[in-house]
Structure 1
Amino acid sequence: MNLRRIGYASVPPLVIACLVFGLMVSPALSEDIGAKVRSACTNCHNLNRVCKNLGVKSETDWTTTVQRMVGKKPVLEGEEVGSAISYLSSLEPKNPEICK
C-alpha cells in the first residue's frame, strides 16, 4: 500500500471526531486543573507546602504525594489525579499561581 496515496477520506470519521473532541476537552481540563489543585490542596493545608516543592519534586515524587493525599481525602478523582500530577510536575519554582 502506498501511504502517500491515502487521503483524508480513508481516515474513519470516528477517529477524526475523537481527535477534535480531545482537542476541545483537553484545554478546558488543563485550565481548570490549576484551580482544582489549589482547592484540593488547601482542603488540608496551605499552598506554602506545595510551593516549596515546585521544581524540587520529580513527576514520580508528585505521583507519590498526590496519591497519598487522595488516599487521605479523595478530593480529586479519575482523570483529575493524573492531570494534577502533570500540572504540579510542570510548574516552575515560585509559580505565581501557587506561591502567592
Structure 2
Amino acid sequence: MTLRKTRYALAGCAMAGIFALAGMAGASDIGQTVKQACSRCHSPKRVCLTVGVKNDAAWKATVARMVQKGAQLPADRIDAASAYLAGLAPGTGTVCE
C-alpha cells in the first residue's frame, strides 16, 4: 500500500470513530434529558418499571401526554425520547440510575 493510500485509510478510520462517538453522545444526551424531564414528577423507580415493557408507540403516547401535562421536554424531542425508552432493556438506561 502506498503512503497516500495509508493516509486515506487512516483518515477514514478516524472519521468513522468520530461519527461513532457522536452517535453514542447523542444517545447519552437523550437519556439524560429524559431522566431530567421525568424526575421532576416521578421517581426513577416508577419510570424504570415500564422500561422494556412498552413499545415505541406506547412510549410516544406516554411522552406526548407527559409533555401536555407540563414535562420539560421540547416537542421535537418526543420521537427521540420514545425511541430511546423503547430501545432499553428492562431495568437499564440512565432513567433507572
Shared fold (TM-score greater than 0.5)? yes
* Residues 69-84 of structure 1 mapped to structure 2, 5 A cutoff: 69-84=66-81
Q: What do residues 29-62 of structure 1 show as CA deviations (whole Å, max 9, x unaligned)?
A: 3221010000000111111111110111111110
TM-score by length of 2: 0.69
CA 1:74–1:54: 2 relative to 1, 3 Å = closer
1:27 is displaced (CA, Å) by 4.8
Q: Does 1:34 align with 2:42?
A: no
* Structure 1 residue 79, shift from structure 2 partner: 2.8
In terms of mean alpha carbon deviation, does 70-79 or 44-53 score higher? Answer: 70-79
TM-score (norm 1): 0.67
Give the helix-richer structure, 1 or 2. 2
Runs of 4+, deviation exceeding 4 Å: 22-28
Gaps of 5+ in 2: 1-18
Partner of 1:59: 56
Partner of 1:50: 47
User: What's the RMSD between the two structures over aligned residues?
Assistant: 2.2
Q: Which runs of 5+ in 1 are unaligned?
A: 1-21
Distance 1:47 1:72 in 2: 18
> Are 2:95 and 1:98 aligned?
yes
Distance in structure 2 (CA, Å) of the matches to 1:60 and 1:27: 23
